Structure 1
Amino acid sequence: MGLDYYLILGLTKSAIDADIKKAYRKLSLKYHPDKNQEIGAFAKFKQVAEAYDVLGDPKKKAVYDQFGEEGLKSGVPEGSGQTGAYTHGYAFHGDAHKVFKNFFGGDNPFNEFFDGVDGDLSMGFGGLLGRGNKKQDDSIERDLVLTLEEVFHGCTKKMKISRRVMNEDGHTSSERDKILTITVKKGWKEGTRITFPKEGDQGPNNIPANIVFIVRDKAHPRFKRDGNDLIFTAKVLLGKALTGCSVEIPTLDGRLLNIPINDIVSPGYQKIVPGEGMPISTEQNKKGNLIIRFEIEFPKQLTPEKKHLLKEALL
């Protein structure tokens, strides 16, 4: 047998929006875990939150009133039903504290009200009588993964978010998608934070959270990034490491660098090429360095003749 959301809130189907809000307000305060530690109280607190999440939303309530819990959670035909399309099934997100916080505008209203003789709320908090201060939700952080090419050239990224937005009645909300546009500047370092103020879920008594995107470097097949510098590892044969060579490096902007190496490449040796690294975001037209590190490839075997020649040359 399905859940009877009206029964959970102690209401009948004739209840209006004000009745639903009043019932949720009373029962959520009664069963809130900060106030009620009895066995089963928290489960009741979650049930009350789910009931309000459905009955407090006109669209969900309309589907529930017509098709019951099964129709609400399984989806029902859209429009005339001839197209074969179904609505998305409802699933409670399970966060009863989030429902409570959105309703009251804070996590714990108990320090700002007192109960009357009959246990009804006598002094308001937040959305009850407007006496409490609205509290902003914690920032929501998301990674913005960028390739080195995207950071090298700069680019525009469009990020899709889903959030709850207040309806015109000022009491209910619905989930909607929004596209946030990020203009990536040349040379942005990993860890750069881009903040979109108050783009989180809206509620009648809360300040929406800021959404913060944090730049993360995507692994690159040729380069590693170290601040403004690019690191390239070149593989060279032992003979060339001792006698000199040149290293070809395809750059991030499509050029091919040919870097002569005239020094002896010993362990730990590196070649620095100025101005061939990443753009410096704070200094226009300036770039970091390209650092070439070396991986020396030793021969797997030598003929007696080659060993003799090496001894004569090196010893």
Structure 2
Amino acid sequence: MGVDYYNILKVNRNANEEDLKKSYKRLAMRWHPDKNPDIKKREAEAKFKQISEAYDVLSDPQKRQIYDAYGEEALKSGNVPPPPRSGGATNFRFHPRDADDIFNEFFGGSDGVGGGGRGRGFGENFSRNPHADAAGQPPRKIPPVEKNLSFSLEELYSGSKRKMKISRIVPDVYGKPTTVEEILIIDIKPGWKKGTKITFPEKGNQDPGTIAGDLIFLVDEKPHAIYKRDGNNLLVNQKISLLDALTGKTLNLTTLDGRLLTISVTDIVKPGYEMVIENEGMPISKEPGKKGNLRIHFDVKFPSRLTTEQKSDLRRVLGRS
């Protein structure tokens, strides 16, 4: 079989997608060239490339199927036996992915670990187009698939993880379309907004001789019974009686993370009055530790009618006798 990708990635042969990701993250951070002293630079680069190649093969259903059945040599050469009772050749061609591209999918950015400014690639093998064919022409990539994914305001406030089971169509060893299922982990960061894109590169459908399309999830917000979002702020409409508007009131609100927020209203509340509670809005995803504001808009409920005695009392109290 040649190279043992399972051993390189420290996983067993039944490893699922989540197992592969966990192991890759741990090993890639350990052997990333920017994380090692100069004396180990060459060794680290070679090890990092091995780890990336192992993840590339084992995380791709078609590549893994060929590797498991025929080994590394057949995978890389494309010399895969034709289907039984078929005289034709298979049209599989091995396209290794760039090690930096894989790393950046997990950790983001293109400036290396810790902002080291390494840029892309460690040499000639990493700087070429990883999908180019023998003539240097890249195959067509399938257009991306976009799907809406709804989250509660509580999930977008605190952050959450969600497992998604997807089905996609890819060519098997012989180029025949086959349906494969995978489990994707969607990691929602606190404060993400409606329209945020979560991209899983090459996790869409694939035709023979093409590159699989990307799968993109678009964040959507479910309506909330109390709060409405406005950018990084949260809005609340609060009805209040005329008596409370004039004499004051204590409000109790349950925040999106389950805290009890007690708010004392001491000012005279006029129609259209708004109270701003700083730092009680949505988390700001690009500024950890900071939040928007909570804005409470008051709707003063006036009585539908008053008795003669009540009108007289109001004139006396308000100084309009």
TM interval, short-chain normalised: 0.5 to 0.7
CA contact (8 A) 1:137 1:208 kept: yes
1:279 matched to which residue of 2? 283
Classify the secondary structure of the residue corresponding to 2:315: helix
Rate the CA distance shift 1:245–1:205 in 2: closer, same or farther, 3 A. same
| Equivalent in 265, 277, 289 of residue 261 of structure 1 | 265
Q: Give 3-state SS (helix, strand or coil) of 1:135's partner.
A: coil
Q: Which residue of 2 aligns with 1:146?
A: 151
Aligned to 2:173: 168
Partner of 2:163: 158
Q: What's the CA shift for 1:166?
A: 1.8
Matches within 5 A, 1:72-111: none
Bigger radius of gyration among the two:
1
Q: 1:223 to 1:17 in 2, by over 3 A?
A: farther
Equivalent of residue 288 in structure 1, options 287, 292, 297: 292
Paired residues, number: 192
Matches of 1:280 and 1:305, distance apart in 2: 53
- Give yes or no for contact 1:234–1:247 (8 Å, CA) kept in 2: no
The amino acid across from 1:224 in the alignment is: K
Calculate the aligned-residue CA RMSD, in Å.
2.3
Q: CA deviation at 1:237?
A: 0.3
Which of 109, 134, 139 is 1:134 aligned to? 139
Taking the TM superposition and a 5 Å limit, the aligned residue runs for 1:101-250 are: 133-169=138-174, 171-250=175-254
- Whichever residue aligns with residue 237 of structure 2, its letter is T
CA deviation profile, 1:108-129 (whole Å, cap 9, x unmatched): xxxxxxxxxxxxxxxxxxxxx9
CA shift at 1:195, angstroms?
A: 0.6
Deviation at residue 18 of structure 1 after TM alignment? 4.5
The one-letter code matched in structure 2 to 1:150 is E
Q: Amino acid of the residue matched to residue 134 of structure 1?
A: P
Deviations 1:260-295 (A, max 9, x none): 111221122100001111111111211111111112
For the 8 Å contact 2:272–2:299, the answer to whether it is kept is no
State the distance in 2 between where 1:259 and 1:159 align: 40
Distance 1:219 1:17 in 2: 59
TM-score by length of 2: 0.56
- Give the unaligned 5+ runs of structure 2: 1-84, 92-133
Q: Is this contact kept in 1: 2:142–2:206, CA < 8 A?
A: no
Whole-angstrom distance in 2 between the partners of 1:243 and 1:223? 26
Q: Deviation at 1:311?
A: 2.8
Paired residues of 1:161 and 1:180 also in contact (CA < 8 A): yes
SS in 2 for 1:134: coil
- Is the deviation greater in 215-224 or in 235-244? 235-244
CA apart distance, 1:254: 1.6
Offset from partner CA, 1:198-241 (integer Å, 9 cap, x none):
11112212221111111111111110011111111111101111
Cα deviation 1:10-67 (Å, max 9, x = unaligned) = xxxxx95749x9xxxxxxxxxxxxxxxxxxxxxxxxxxxxxxxxxxxxxxxxxxxxxx
TM-score by length of 1: 0.57
